[in-house]
Copies of this chain bind each other. A is one copy, B any other.
Amino acid sequence: MAGSHRGGQGATIYSVAELAGVSIASVSRVLQGSTAVSERTREKVLAAVEQLNYVPLSAARSLAVRHHEAHGLVLPELTGPYYAELLLGFETRAAEHGHSVVLLLAEGKKDLGRSVRQLATRVDGLAMLGSASIPEDVVMSLHGSKPVVLIAGDAHLGVEAIGAENAHSAQEIAAHLIGHGRQRLLFVGDPGASPDVRDRYHGFVLAHEAAGRAAAEPARIAFRESDGTAFADELLSAGDRPDALVCANDELALAIMHRLQDRGLDVPGDVAIVGWDDVMTARYVRPGLTTVRQPVHELGALAAERLHERVSGGEPHEGLQVLPTSVVLRESCGCAPRATRHTDH
């Protein structure tokens, strides 16, 4: 049972115990700070730990204490600043609580359900995006065995959920467009793609109802830039062109705006365009893109916080907590240049 004393690699609790001339129990004690230890042994142990560069093997510790000090985060993908920011907020807060984060990207996984269950095996709790399309039964089977928090998803059968406000800001931004005198608004994005988009379209419809008008059917296209570009081309060749586009996210809005401009259209003159997320490009482009900003970082941090509460024995919060968003008015909606102001929700 002699431990190899060279480098922190193979150092085990046994090797430090041996080096320090004490029992492994004592080593564990000073490291866990659980029970009192004599100053004498504490010093010897610490010295040995230092010399051997010892760090307890996480798997062994996990097995013994029956938890992992780690959280899982499953994201659909990683394009655009949204997910990165969310991940950042999550990792930061998780780390503050001493938790590692193991990441799972849904995109491209052949058997997502299996991947998630496998992930669940090495963490204390999971946070997942509603748009990651995790099989419903997988979520439910996890829930009950491990803390689960859904981000930007619906509050399902009792699983904790958090998200950013959507409907109100959508209604506001659509109403804003109508206020600018726009007559034919079009919602660009697929409400079926995620709860977020669904709620945004809902707000869009509400704004129309409030104005005594009927909302047009949404243009159900995907999120990527290429989809936006293709859509812009369609728009160009279509007969009755809308004079305002409410896009499900900024990537879409930007791609469409860029293409339209290239083809000689004036934005916002010929057509106003607004998006969602307030990505970096939104403020660099001309005209500046009017959009709605979400507290993405906070959302990530909140998810980590909730998980922490849960593994610490806390009760799950009920229903869905929604974080406020704010619409950022720039010029693409028809506002006068530099009229930048925000409205909170």
- Chain A positions within 8 Å of B, measured between CB atoms, are 7-10, 53, 55-60, 62-63, 68, 70, 77-79, 81, 83-85, 87-88, 91-92, 95, 100-105, 108-109, 115, 117-122, 141, 144-146, 225, 251, 254, 258, 279-281, 284-286
Contacts and interface: CB of A to CB of B under 8 A. Distances in A.
Contacts of A7: 141, 144-145
Given A8-B145, A144-B9, A59 B280 contact: no
A176 to B, nearest CB: 23
A105 B81 CA distance: 16
7 contacts: A7-B145, A58-B59, A59-B59, A59-B68, A63-B63, A78-B87, A281-B284
Give this chain's copy count. 2
A222 to B, nearest CB: 17
A144 to B, nearest CB: 6
B103 A58 contact: no
A130 to B, nearest CB: 20
Contacts of A115: 95
Given A55-B121, A115-B95, A145-B7, A104 B108 contact: no
Contacts of A122: 58-59, 70, 100
A13 to B, nearest CB: 13
Nearest to A53: B141
A59 B62 contact: yes
Contacts of A101: 102-103
Most B CB contacts (10 A, CB to CB) among A7, A87, A102, A285 go to A102
B105 A92 contact: yes
A100 B88 contact: no
A157 to B, nearest CB: 14
List the 3 shortest-distance A-B pairs measured between CB atoms, nearest first.
Answer: A9-B145, A59-B62, A58-B122
Contacts of A10: 145
A46 to B, nearest CB: 14
Contacts of A121: 55-58
A68 to B, nearest CB: 7
B105 A95 contact: yes
A85 to B, nearest CB: 8
A289 to B, nearest CB: 10
Most B CB contacts (10 A, CB to CB) among A70, A115, A121 go to A121
Nearest to A258: B284
Contacts of A118: 55, 58, 100
Contact of A95 (B84, B91, B109): B109
A5 B212 CA distance: 57
Contacts of A103: 87, 91, 101-103
A320 B336 CA distance: 53
Contacts of A279: 280
A102 B122 CA distance: 11
Contacts of A84: 78-79, 81, 83-84
Contacts of A285: 281, 284-285
Given A8-B145, A87-B103, A281-B285, 11 more contacts: A55-B120, A55-B121, A58-B118, A58-B122, A59-B62, A78-B85, A91-B103, A92-B108, A100-B122, A102-B102, A225-B280
